[in-house]
Structure 1
Amino acid sequence: MTAVHASSESPSETRKFLVLLVGSIGVVYGDIGTSPLYAFREALRPFSDDGVQQQEVIGLISLMVWTLTIIVTFKYVLFLLRADNDGEGGTLSLLALLMKQTGSYMPILFFAGLIGSALFIGDAMITPALSVMSALEGMKLVTPAFTNYVLPLSAAVMVGLFAIQRKGTGAVAKFFGPITVVWFLAMAWGGLIHIGDDWTILQALNPINALWFITHAGWAGLIVLGAVFLTVTGAEALYADLGHFGRKPISVAWFMLVFPALALNYLGQGALVLGHPETIHSPFYLLYPDWALLPMVILATMATIIASQAVITGAFSLARQAVHLGFLPRLLITFTSETNTGQIYVPAVNILLFVGVIVLIFSFGNSESLATAYGISVTGAMVVTTLMSFQYLRSVWGWNTLAAAAVLLPLLVLESVFLAANLFKIHDGGWVPVLLALAIMVIMWTWTRGSRILREKTARNELPLESFIRSFEKSAHPPATVPGMAVFLTSHGDTTPAVLLHNIKHNHVLHQKNVILTVRTSDKPYVSDDHRATITPISDRFSKLELCFGFMEQPNVSKALAICKKRTELKFEIMNTSFYIGRRTLIADPNSDLPRWQDRLYIALSGLGIDPSDHFRLPANRVVEIGEQVAV
């Protein structure tokens, strides 16, 4: 019976795995799959004036293939995909895990997480602009008449892409995987048909040629390293999208299709340039015969749109994690799918990315100029991840310092060399991602610091909850009792909510049943319903309730209270329950611990936060708001 049962489930499991496999190819590898459009072309640029030598091309291709092998295969696929936080990956997910495990390096880990997150947002702006422009510039090879239309067409594609975000990508997402599979197969085909142009390109598979290039290319070689790193752009998506697809589908997709296709395409481009040096200006598109050129431009444009969608979705997920971890104000987050909680839309982030992408397209004008600005954000984010991985090995896997350093130090040195090479491009546009990352980091740092100061300031005036209840019970003139239940939201369950004190002060009433509600964000991505609520009775009229949500979940208090109604003695009848929330209006304090500019920035950021009743999914017709002014 067991054998028959296993056999009947096998096709279903296989089908599910194949769906995840194809989906991961479209979402996870969409970004890295567009790198062949521009990476080799940009790496050749410093050598193009005096002609490219055979050994330089072989060494360059060798360096690109082995960069993919070491950084993507070893670091991300074989190592980081195992460094998950209950199945979730990404910089902030890793930070949440380390914050739970470690205490002594908290400031370092905190700023590392901020830097990594900020660099990822910068990457999410540059990737759509660079990828789409690179694809559409292939139209110039079809006919030069398209030259003047690349910029407006790129902008039009971006307008359409960001406009559909509010409607969700569920209907389109199922096509992403198959299209990207076709894209990788087309890249493999283009490389295969040209490797025979010069068989010596196969020497690039020997890593000694990569080492030769690094040691003999001189100053130009250091500049080229920045372009070589473009081959691994999008590798962070491997880790960030771990929770959406799982380790096995992502790993199998890499070894079965993505890595072979990328390697074959780069080898083919190298052989093409060796056999036909005149193709140096556009080695990717010239891999294909004339009849296939227009279809490849169309396919490339579709692939770059998919790659752009992948980083935009990643930016939405990162913003949600940042909100739940307290790095950003409570931004409006809407779900675009009833079945997939990973499909979300964050309007503020969408607008920020759209404005940034359009500015980049028209500021740089072409993909060649923008490519010089690209590598810094990618290399910086990877260095941060490696540094955090060192602490992960020590605190989670229990490795000693020497063993962790022995494994990660060579990788850190390699990535640091690439970062240094990209820093030479600061004056050529590399300042753009640095400026973007600094701005985003300042915003998150300001919000975190300002929120801490505000909590400390309000805590000075707070009254312990149990003291308040004792004084209330002993009072000779207690407030009038009204029927029903009142739920008072607060961030500290052991102190009396200010909104409760204001209600008694101004309305002179107290409900028959009163619940002090605290909503907490766990350092785990998801929390089961069994661990959702903790109820602590205090007296006949007062109880404390703590609701816990994972940092990847959207807090839904109404749904959680329905669960409490089924599993506890505390019965919540929504139509007989009033939810009291406090609304603070922040005003500048001349004596604030924050610098004046940061104080004003924090107050401005607080205005971006959505209504708490929306954030916590409270029933709109049962919410009572009481406001107060607070100097910060």
Structure 2
Amino acid sequence: MTQTKTPGETAGVVATGQSSHKSNEFRMLVLGALGVVYGDIGTSPIYAFRQALSVRPGGPQANFEAEVLGLLSLIIWALTITVTVKYIFFVTRADNKGEGGTLSLMSLAASSFAKAPGWIIAIGVVGAALFFGDAIITPAISVLSAVEGVTVVAPDLERWVVPVTFVIIIGVFMVQRFGTAGVSKVFGPVTAVWFLVMGVVGLSHIVVNPQVLLALNPAYGILFLATHPDLAALVLGAVFLAVTGVEGLYVDLGHFGRKPIVTAWFIMVFPCLLLNYFGQGAYVLSHEPGSVDHPFFEMVPAWGLIPMIGLATCATIIASQAVITGAYSLTQQAIALNLLPRMTVLHTSETQSGQIYMPQVNVFLMIFVLLLVVSFGSSGELSNAYGIAVSGVMLVTVVLLGIVMWRVWKWHPIATLMVMTPFLLIDLGFFAANVTKLFQGGWVPAAVAVVLATLMSTWMSGRRRLAEKTRREEVPLEFLVENLAKKRPTVVPGTAIFLTSDIEGAPTALLHSLKHYKVLHEQNVILTVLTSSAPRVPDDEKVLIDAYNDLFYRVIITFGYMETPNIPKALGLARKLGWKFDIMSTSFFLSRRSLKPSHKRGLIRYWQDKMFMRLARNATDATEYFHIPTGRVVEIGTQVIL
């Protein structure tokens, strides 16, 4: 007997299949978010509570319980207010068309003004520079803290901690060129196991000593700070380590979306972090004051200690991978926004455009991470250097978020102040606490941030001066086009594309070509590449073509700041607009400027110009950056005195 299905039944089967597919896809996004987004904050329990205990004043048993509960309460409420309330409910909603991160937030805030104020750009530059300071410390402190766990089993192996960490970090950076596509498949499952194991271990000690749950009362934390005002800065600096990595929720927003990130936080990350911190507190309370050196590893049963150290090492490598990938993405955004010179960007995935590898950034990060490992030698010493960069980035985020609330979300200024002031005060408190550690190691990320901010500001001001000087010496494009239409030089077959960043002026390469060759191609395209404040630009909005006459065309290509500029591919889209583009009959004319410093300027300006020239010389060639076929490029050189 043959059964038939009605159209309604068939539609029901299809809908069920689509729903099942979407459900599986969502679960994979949640699992991926666990590995990439929460890898950093997920390794904080290894060292955060231990570091907080190390600044405890000590004393009789009578004060011991209140002090431990106070420190634990501060950590629990820091996680709750900073991560759950501020980032989950507010910051992750401030996406720039799906993308997150300091520069995305800066672009979103700047877009609310007719002309972006310089101070907003400055705040974004500082935030980006501080992120790089965080990016060199996270791999060092994470891997060091995990490898140090072996000293709990065999104290004699302490001298091997730095060499083993050194080898692991070199390995992490060496495999970056192969991309994260394959490795990332195991990130989520490994991190999920990591959180579950942390939660189970913590729960086993909470059951034995449930009084530790009293730390849920914020009064214990407030009382600790009130009774130890001289230790407040040190304690807040240590407590802050529990929320390091929170910026990952926002930086990786575009990779996973808000819903999977929020879901992962509430169903696994937050509960397991709470259980582990409470478990560490319960374990410490069940021992004599000062007898526990490394609560995270010591509370693990003896039979599970070696596997836990191995799992911790894997988790810290994943945390390192996440921040390294974030550094690549942030650099790419900075280049697109003209905050940094062009650098080589290699795509490591055919399907995921966000998976990139940047050799120069990779070498920079590896050298500094290894220097930190050798210089500090332990996660405890390195923790002093950790907070300034992260707390600075969080402070920048809350300031830019306030601007977005007011100008983009159209909140009333009073409502914005009421919501943001508590967050601002907390972030200022964390930042002030970490500044006190400036001379104990905090100068490292601060110095990195100052150097990078100086490079960015030098690059921006140098580009601006160069553009102004070039504009003064150029001929207005419309004037040139009108004159050439009246008196045409010899016309040769083919298409010539002249790249220029100035929409109004005639390209230098065109002027010199006419001067020396005295010919024009039958099609001459004045091409300008712009970067949008949006992360990505749809294909149907990417190319704008305007004809001056039958000889000259104006083409403007707009890429999003998250996109890799590919001129030939973008010009292929022009076919839909009626322009028949043949790459094999096209020549690209580029201006190659030889920069010279002006000795008439002051000493500071002279060295700024020298720095800008060095950055310009080391920038990736425009041909490579824009993916133009090298065989179709003609470069015409000129000298410019800054």
TM-score normalised by structure 1 residue count: 0.98
- Whether 1:528 aligns to 2:538 is yes
1:447 to 441, 451, 459: 459
Give the distance between the partners of 2:557 and 2:403, measured in 1 at CA. Answer: 30
Matched AA of 2:97: D
1:217 to 195, 213, 228: 228
Determine the structure 1 residue equivalent to 2:217: 206
Give the distance between the partners of 2:612 and 2:291, measured in 1 at CA. Answer: 53
- Whether 1:302 aligns to 2:314 is yes
Correspondence 1:230-629 to 2 at 5 A? 230-277=241-288, 279-475=291-487, 478-565=488-575, 567-592=576-601, 595-629=605-639
Kindly state the Cα deviation for residue 592 of structure 1 after the two structures are TM-superposed: 4.7
Tell me the alpha carbon deviations over residues 575-611 of structure 1, each in whole angstroms, 9 at most, x when there is no partner: 1111111111212122358622211111111122111
- Whether the aligned pair in 2 keeps the contact of 1:279 and 1:286 (CA below 8 Å) is no
Kindly state the Cα deviation for residue 400 of structure 1 after the two structures are TM-superposed: 1.9
Determine the structure 2 residue equivalent to 1:108: 119
Give the distance between the partners of 2:498 and 2:467, measured in 1 at CA. Answer: 17
- Whether 1:121 aligns to 2:148 is no
Give the distance between the partners of 1:104 and 1:320, measured in 2 at CA. Answer: 23
Kindly state the Cα deviation for residue 105 of structure 1 after the two structures are TM-superposed: 6.8
Determine the structure 1 residue equivalent to 2:48: 39
2:30 to 21, 33, 36: 21
Give the distance between the partners of 1:612 and 1:513, measured in 2 at CA. Answer: 22
1:133 to 136, 139, 144: 144
- Whether the aligned pair in 2 keeps the contact of 1:197 and 1:274 (CA below 8 Å) is no
- TM-align CA RMSD: 1.3
Moved over 6 A (4+): none
Tell me the alpha carbon deviations over residues 272-311 of structure 1, each in whole angstroms, 9 at most, x when there is no partner: 1110135531010011011111111110000000000000
- Whether the aligned pair in 1 keeps the contact of 2:209 and 2:286 (CA below 8 Å) is yes
Give the distance between the partners of 1:515 and 1:522, measured in 2 at CA. Answer: 21
Kindly state the Cα deviation for residue 49 of structure 1 after the two structures are TM-superposed: 4.9
Matched AA of 1:516: I
Determine the structure 1 residue equivalent to 2:4: none
- Whether the aligned pair in 2 keeps the contact of 1:133 and 1:151 (CA below 8 Å) is yes
Determine the structure 2 residue equivalent to 1:8: 17
1:83 to 71, 91, 94: 94
Determine the structure 2 residue equivalent to 1:94: 105
Give the distance between the partners of 2:72 and 2:240, measured in 1 at CA. Answer: 12
Tell me: CA distance 1:463–1:356, structure 2 relative to 1, closer, same or farther (3 Å): same
Matched AA of 1:11: S
- Whether the aligned pair in 2 keeps the contact of 1:101 and 1:395 (CA below 8 Å) is yes
Query: 2:95 is paired with a residue of what secondary structure?
Result: coil
- Whether the aligned pair in 2 keeps the contact of 1:44 and 1:280 (CA below 8 Å) is no
Tell me: CA distance 1:210–1:94, structure 2 relative to 1, closer, same or farther (3 Å): same
Matched AA of 1:148: R
Tell me: CA distance 1:164–1:84, structure 2 relative to 1, closer, same or farther (3 Å): same
Give the distance between the partners of 2:301 and 2:280, measured in 1 at CA. Answer: 14
Matched AA of 1:527: V
Query: 2:639 is paired with a residue of what secondary structure?
Result: strand
Matched AA of 1:13: K
Kindly state the Cα deviation for residue 200 of structure 1 after the two structures are TM-superposed: 1.6
Kindly state the Cα deviation for residue 218 of structure 1 after the two structures are TM-superposed: 2.0
* Greater Cα shift, 603-612 or 27-36: 603-612
Tell me the alpha carbon deviations over residues 336-370 of structure 1, each in whole angstroms, 9 at most, x when there is no partner: 11100110011111111111101100111111110
Tell me the alpha carbon deviations over residues 475-531 of structure 1, each in whole angstroms, 9 at most, x when there is no partner: 3xx432110111111112322100001111112211011111011111000111110
- Whether the aligned pair in 2 keeps the contact of 1:556 and 1:617 (CA below 8 Å) is yes
Matched AA of 1:37: I
- Whether the aligned pair in 1 keeps the contact of 2:98 and 2:253 (CA below 8 Å) is yes
Query: 2:527 is paired with a residue of what secondary structure?
Result: strand
Matched AA of 2:501: S
Determine the structure 2 residue equivalent to 1:228: 239
* Greater Cα shift, 144-153 or 65-74: 144-153
Give the distance between the partners of 1:253 and 1:11, measured in 2 at CA. Answer: 19
Tell me the alpha carbon deviations over residues 391-434 of structure 1, each in whole angstroms, 9 at most, x when there is no partner: 01011110121110100001110111111111111121111111
Matched AA of 2:136: M
Determine the structure 1 residue equivalent to 2:205: 194
Query: 2:536 is paired with a residue of what secondary structure?
Result: coil
Kindly state the Cα deviation for residue 329 of structure 1 after the two structures are TM-superposed: 0.4
For structure 2, the residue ranges without an aligned partner over 5 or more in a row are 1-7
Kindly state the Cα deviation for residue 3 of structure 1 after the two structures are TM-superposed: 3.9
Kindly state the Cα deviation for residue 5 of structure 1 after the two structures are TM-superposed: 3.2
- Whether the aligned pair in 2 keeps the contact of 1:480 and 1:510 (CA below 8 Å) is yes
- Whether the aligned pair in 1 keeps the contact of 2:225 and 2:231 (CA below 8 Å) is no
Query: 2:496 is paired with a residue of what secondary structure?
Result: strand
Give the distance between the partners of 1:49 and 1:361, measured in 2 at CA. Answer: 30
Matched AA of 1:357: V
Kindly state the Cα deviation for residue 474 of structure 1 after the two structures are TM-superposed: 2.7
- Whether the aligned pair in 2 keeps the contact of 1:197 and 1:275 (CA below 8 Å) is no
Kindly state the Cα deviation for residue 222 of structure 1 after the two structures are TM-superposed: 2.5
- Whether the aligned pair in 2 keeps the contact of 1:516 and 1:545 (CA below 8 Å) is yes
Query: 2:100 is paired with a residue of what secondary structure?
Result: coil
Give the distance between the partners of 1:352 and 1:50, measured in 2 at CA. Answer: 45
Give the distance between the partners of 1:164 and 1:264, measured in 2 at CA. Answer: 34
- Whether 1:165 aligns to 2:165 is no
- Whether the aligned pair in 2 keeps the contact of 1:549 and 1:555 (CA below 8 Å) is yes
TM-score normalised by structure 2 residue count: 0.96
- Whether the aligned pair in 1 keeps the contact of 2:58 and 2:64 (CA below 8 Å) is no
Query: 1:126 is paired with a residue of what secondary structure?
Result: helix
- Whether the aligned pair in 2 keeps the contact of 1:272 and 1:279 (CA below 8 Å) is no
